[in-house]
Amino acid sequence: MIIGVPKEIKASEYRVALTPAGAAMLKAAGHEIVVQSGAGEGSSFTDEAYAAEGAEILPEASEVWARAEMIMKVKEPLPEEFGYFREGLLLFTYLHLAAAPELTKALVDKRVSGVAYETIQLANGSLPLLTPMSEVAGRMAVQVGSQFLEAFYGGRGILLGGVPGVPPAEVIILGGGIVGTNAARIALGMGASVVILERSAERMRYIDEVFGGRIRTLMSNGYNIASAVRKADLLIGAVLIPGARAPHLVTEEMVQTMKKGAVIVDVAVDQGGTIATIDRVTTHKDPVYEKHGVLHYAVANMPGAVPRTSTLALTNVTVPYALELAGIGLAGAVANNEPLRKGVNTYKGRVTHPQVADAVGMPYVALEQLLQNVPYEELN
């Protein structure tokens, strides 16, 4: 298979979908690799490094998209890339379609097979291709939150860990999954007072055990959220429902009760956000806006700010799946791989993930039906 790696064009996105080491693995398996010139520079991988592993360097994105049978990316395609779509193309990337109806429609209209990193799910419920970026984003959430709490940026002027005789900041985390626990680990290490709101009693027991009771846990419900939000110096949104839009757990009225100069970091913004006042996506160059006296950080590609770490962590987990997809094709790869099957969001002009279909208001068709060549009229 011909595998293409275009340069990411999202604002301040410096990651790349494949390292030279990954290219070498795919090349050794008999595949052809085409990489856009400069695609790896943001992650400190030169064109020469890819070429040394047998990849062909092409000057333009259009050439990469046209040559490739499978495109590997990091972030979802932007509208200026929709023109590259064509029937039969396999796209392997983060898609986050629940918050992107226009992209979903473009993939369906052009009959692109869209396999989303973030919905590949193991039997235990874990998301192996989302986990490393969730780890990065969770840890970064505290870093950026502590920065914007500084008065220079319009924050409350609070040091996260306080000092002897002065209390630490109150860090409230919505969600006790990978993002939430990684955020808690950094916040706790910096000396903050940390509360995690989580709806799973089993997960709260796990958090209590892992952190030795140093982090307070609360059942996630409207009453507890409203109470915790009022006390927050730093509020971190870390809720994920695979494939679906993130639920709005914090209302605008709750945000209005927050302290002046408090900071919100919503890691779930790429799935629509879990804070009602997150009404737009920001970028690394212009990361925050103020509403109701509270600073809102809504960058949808947080790991892109630390691309070397993020690219290495991401390709550690994506390359094995890429080898499978390229080796036997999508239909063959999903036949005996249930986790990968859950990653297929669009196929043969249909939405094949139920939560995505519900979020974007389009019909859902089970992938199994399409693979069995059920007649088109019977799919409606």
Binding residues for Mg(2+): 324
| Dihedral over alpha carbons 55, 37, 115, 175 (to 10 degrees) | 120
Residue list, annotated binding site for NAD(+): 134, 203, 220, 239-240, 267-270, 280, 299-302
Q: Within its chain, how far is the Cα of 191 from the centroid?
A: 27
Residue list, annotated binding site: 15, 75, 134, 203, 220, 239-240, 267-270, 280, 299-302, 324
DSSP 151: G
Name 133's Cβ contacts closer than 8 Å, sequence gap at least 6. Answer: 94, 303, 310, 313, 314
Q: Which of 96, 266, 296, 353 is catalytic?
A: 96
**What is the C-alpha to C-alpha distance for residues 13 and 17, in angstroms, rounded to an integer?**
11
In the sheet where 90-93 sits, what is the strand order?
56-58, 32-36, 2-5, 70-72, 90-93, 113-116, 344-347, 350-351
Helical H segments across the chain, by residue range: 20-28, 47-52, 61-67, 101-109, 131-148, 178-189, 201-210, 222-231, 252-256, 307-335, 338-343, 354-360, 367-371
Residue list, annotated binding site for substrate: 15, 75
Q: Active-site residue 47, yes or no?
A: no
Q: Active-site residue 96, yes or no?
A: yes
Q: Which of 31, 233, 266, 270 is catalytic?
A: 270
What is the set of active-site residues?
A: 96, 270
